[in-house]
Every structure is written in structure tokens, then in C-alpha cells.
Amino acid sequence: MTNLSVNINKIATIRNARGENRPDLLEVAMDCERFGAQGITVHPRPDERHIRRDDVYRLRPLVKTEFNIEGYPSPEFMELVLQVRPEQVTLVPDAPDAITSSAGWDVEGNMEFLTGIVEQLRDAGIRSSIFTGTDPQAIRMAAKTGADRVELYTKPYADLYPTDPEAAVTPFVEAADTAFKCGLGVNAGHDLSLENLEWFHRHIPRLSEVSIGHALVCDALYLGLEETIRRYRQALAH
């Protein structure tokens, strides 16, 4: 089974726009689980423009499925995750002012740094996932850091899918095969949607998890949150 983890950053963005507590981020997270999501993802950034540090602390006792915290492993981020102890931490190479994740790690160029971070997470009993592209060498190096999983950056797939779905998915199939041979679990995320998710999953059925936020929240504006989560779960059931 491939788990659906709902990234609730966009819910926090809407809440923050009015400076009040509507929508209630904690209530939405619990509803996502109640409607069938198998995980909740957050990506706190230094400027707290969506998820705030306080949100992370308040979510921890409420999330009953799997809590995944994404972020650049700065000292402040590591302090947060080592206190909160989520089930998984996804390491991304974002600059502090990045709008969204836009590339995977240069794992080889950051080998010593990432190995030390992974070791800290492992010692705390936290599963680690390294955000990568499809380059086989980067994936092999990710395995050498001691990480448990990689998360494949799927925007290139989403961009090419409308015109050539076979060509879009092929490098991701090869990347996943490399990861599996290295003993890594495989997650995926970025611009996956109801339009392209089923095709992706059909070709990589051994995915452990997909993390989806922006597209899912957009779909929920029209379909409602419960129906949207049902459809995403259905896309992962084939």
C-alpha cells in the first residue's frame, strides 16, 4: 500500500491571511485523518509564512497516523524535530526564502553534512528521507548516508505528463528501481495531482508514500475535502 500524506501548508497560508484561526489548522489535520489520509505533512520555514513552530508542537499529540516534517536541516529545524520526534523527517535543500521546493539535493556534494544529520535522526528514532531527483548516483549516495528513504521530486514528471506520460514516468521508474536495489524506501512528491497520480503509481506500485498539498487543497475547493481525499486514495489503490 502507498500511503497518502496530506501537506497542510496551504491551509496554514489561508489561515494566516486573516491573522485569525480560520480555518483551524488542527481541525483540518484531524479531518484529513478521519477522511482517510494516512499521514500529515508540514514544512515549517524560518519566516513562518504558513506553518509556524507552534503549529508543529500542537499537531504532534493530535496526529494519530504518521507525522512527516519537511525542511532544510538548519540548527533551528533540527532542534524542532528532535523535540517533536515525528515519525519521519524529509530533508530538503531549500533556501530560507524559497517559495517551494524546486530541486533535489546534490547528495555527493553534501555527503558529510547529510550523513551527520541522518545519524542524529536515527539516534532519535526518526525515519529520514532525502529529497532527490532521478539521478541514480544521487540515490546511491543517499543510501550511503544511512537514510531510510528518498523522496523523488516529481515536478519534471508532472510537467511532461500531459504530452508524453510514458517518457515522463520512465526516469522515475528507473530511479525507484535504483533506490530499491540500494535498500531504500521510496516516497514521491511535488505537483502530483488527480490527473497524473494514478499513472505514476501504476508504474511504481512499491511507493511507500506520496506527499500532496497544493493540488489536493485546490481540488478540495470544488470537491470538498472528504471527497478529494477519497479520490486520491482511490488513485493509489489501483
Catalytic sites, residue numbers: 43, 70, 190
Q: Quick one: cell of 128? A: 529520514
Listed in sequence order, the DSSP H helices in 35-160 are: 53-59, 75-84, 111-123, 136-144, 155-160
Other Cβ atoms within 10 Å of 29 Cβ, number: 24
What is the sign of the dihedral through the CA atoms of 91, 94, 95 and 98?
A: negative
**Alpha-carbon distance 225 to 106, whole Å?**
36
Which amino acid would we find at residue 138?
A
d(CA 6, CA 12): 13
Contacts of 178 (CB under 8 A, 6+ apart): 136, 139, 140
Strands 3-7 and 209-212: parallel
Report how far residue 5's alpha carbon sits from residue 144's, in angstroms, rounded to the nearest whole number.
26
- Of 108, 120, 130, give the one whose Cα is nearest residue 184: 130
